[in-house]
Structure formats: structure tokens, C-alpha cells
Amino acid sequence: MTLAALSVGQGMALAAAAGLIIGAMVNWAAYWWAWNRRHISPWSPAHPQAPPRRLADRIPLWGWVGLRRETALHGKGFWIRPIIVELLSAGGLAALYWWEVGHQGLVAKQFDALAAGGAPPGLLTAPAWITVATFASHALLLAFMAAATLIDMDEKTIPDQITVPGTLLALLLAAAAPMSLPPHVTLSATAPAAGVEIPLPPQVNAGGAKLLVEPLTLAAPSAWPAELGGAPRPLGLAIGLGCYATWCYALAPRIWRRRRGLWFGLQVLLARAARELTRGPLLWIGSAGLAAIVLVWLAGGAGWVGL
């Protein structure tokens, strides 16, 4: 049985269980990826002065009850926030599944608007695998955002361990599974560049147009322009490479020195950025990413539209 074939209740239960595990990993990241690491999560090495960790300490929710024995090391009530994080993660993902998959909250009103009174509300629906793909993408995003938020609350910083892998993973997901992007419902006389056609019931008159569910693109709500397509059209490739190259440049340290004039400051800034971009890890992130963009552009199709 696939996830898309589950009942809403089963899907919510599975989402809640996944949320507990994700919440535990968020807690680990919030303490271990911070600038000042703390030996609080049971998934990180124990504090040198802490008693030996037990297997039960790694059970979500329940494990924090046992870890109260480390209060003298981490502070009074240190275990309360991690429990709240895991509870909110479980409840939040279950609620998100209920809304996005069970009630198709991202597409239901779009369908009703396009039906223009020709069909009762709820008659038109998207295939379950589309809403499940979008839900999974949003669950992943929420996990990264939750860890970033907790670290930001603690230290007023957001580490590269979150932003860089999160961005790369999002790009990979968009290319490999374009329908994991927010869905857009439209009527069109042509086949979609990416997405699926939804059969129309007899009582809905679309004037010969097709009802389509597409991933939200930079052209939405307009149709995907042919000039942004894959090979051999160069415009889309230039935009993709330009966006990625700009992001890589933004990852490089940039120091602006004004005391010796504008030109000297610009030279120092560009030289420092060039040095960082031509050695690891930015060299590997940049070269591998640019090559991957070219490969997806050569393949074209829905993957390129998503990317």
C-alpha cells in the first residue's frame, strides 16, 4: 500500500509518527548545529559530566523525562522545550496532512472557482499522489525551518548546515518531483509543460479546454513560455545558471574595506570571493550544481520546468 492509498486517518497517524521523529532530529540540530554546541540531545554525545545515556533516552517525548537527571548540567526545565517541539512537530504534521491531503486545501478552492457553478463543491479533486508529494515537501521545509528558528532564538544566527543543504535539497526535489511544488489549477487548450490532466465530469463545460494541475512556476498563472524550455533554448539555461551562480557568490565571505577608497575596497571584495569560490567546499558546490543544471536543461520536460 502506498502513502497515497491510505485513509485520511491512517495518513494522519503516520504523519504524526514521522513528526515525532522529525521533532527529535530538530532538537538534535538545534543543539548540535548551533555555534555553541550543547550536549543536550540524546542523539549527540553526552556531556562529559553526565551519567551514561540509556537507550530509552532516545525515545521521543518519553526520553526527555529520563533526561531530567541532567538538570544540574543544562539548567532547570531544559527538557520542557524539546518536549514541546516534538509535540508540535507531531501535531503540526498530522494537521498539515489533514488539510493538504485529506481536504486538498491547496487546490479545493481553485477547482471550485474554475467549475464556475457547474459542479458541486468537492467534486473535482487532484490525484492523491500530488497532494502527498506537496505535503512531503512542506514537511521537509518545516523541519529545516524549525531547526533554524530554534537556533536563531538561542543565538541570533542561522548556520550554513541548514541553509546550504536545505537549498540544494529543495532544488533536487523540484527537479526530480516537480509536483512537490505548490499545485496550480488551470484550464488550458494545450498539454501542460508539467503536471497532469484532470478528467472533467459531464456537468462541467470547459469549452473544449483541459483541466490541469501543474506545479507553480515562475510564469504562473500564465502558461509556461516556450522560450524558457529546455535544450536547445538558451534563455532558461542562462537564467538558471545566473541564479545559482549568484547564490554561490552570496555564500562566499565578503569584506568591504572603505578606508583606502572605493576601487581598493571592490578589489579586495572580489579577490576574497574569488579565492573562496575556487577552493572547497564552494568549488564543489558550485561546479556540481552548475553541471547538474545543465544536465536537467538538456533533459528538458517537467524536471526542467520544476527546477
Model pLDDT for residues 79-97, shown as the tens digit of each residue: 999 999 999 999 999 999 9
Grid cell of 291 as nine digits: 553541471
What are the tens digits of pLDDT across the range 33-43? 999 999 999 99
30-44, 197-211, 234-248: range with lowest mean pLDDT: 197-211
Q: Give the up-direction half-sphere exposure of residue 214: CA atoms within 13 A in the CB hemisphere.
A: 26
The better pLDDT of the pair 202, 266 is held by 266
Binned at pLDDT 50, 70 and 90, residue 270 comes out as confident
37's CB contacts (< 8 A; 6+ apart) are: 31, 44
User: What count of other Cβ atoms lies within 10 Å of the Cβ of residue 22?
Assistant: 24
Q: Is the pTM of this model over 0.85?
A: yes
pLDDT of residue 116: 59
Positive or negative, the Cα torsion across 39, 44, 48, 49?
positive
| Measured CA distances, 147 to 20, 31, 246, 288, 306 (Å) | 14, 9, 25, 26, 26
N- to C-terminal Cα separation, the chain: 30
How far is residue 138 from each of residues 96, 135, 205, measured CA to CA in Å?
Answer: 9, 5, 34
Q: Does the pLDDT value for residue 272 go beyond 90?
A: no
Q: Residue 180: pLDDT above 90? A: yes
Give me the residues paired with residue 264 across strands.
none
Mean pLDDT, all residues of the chain: 90
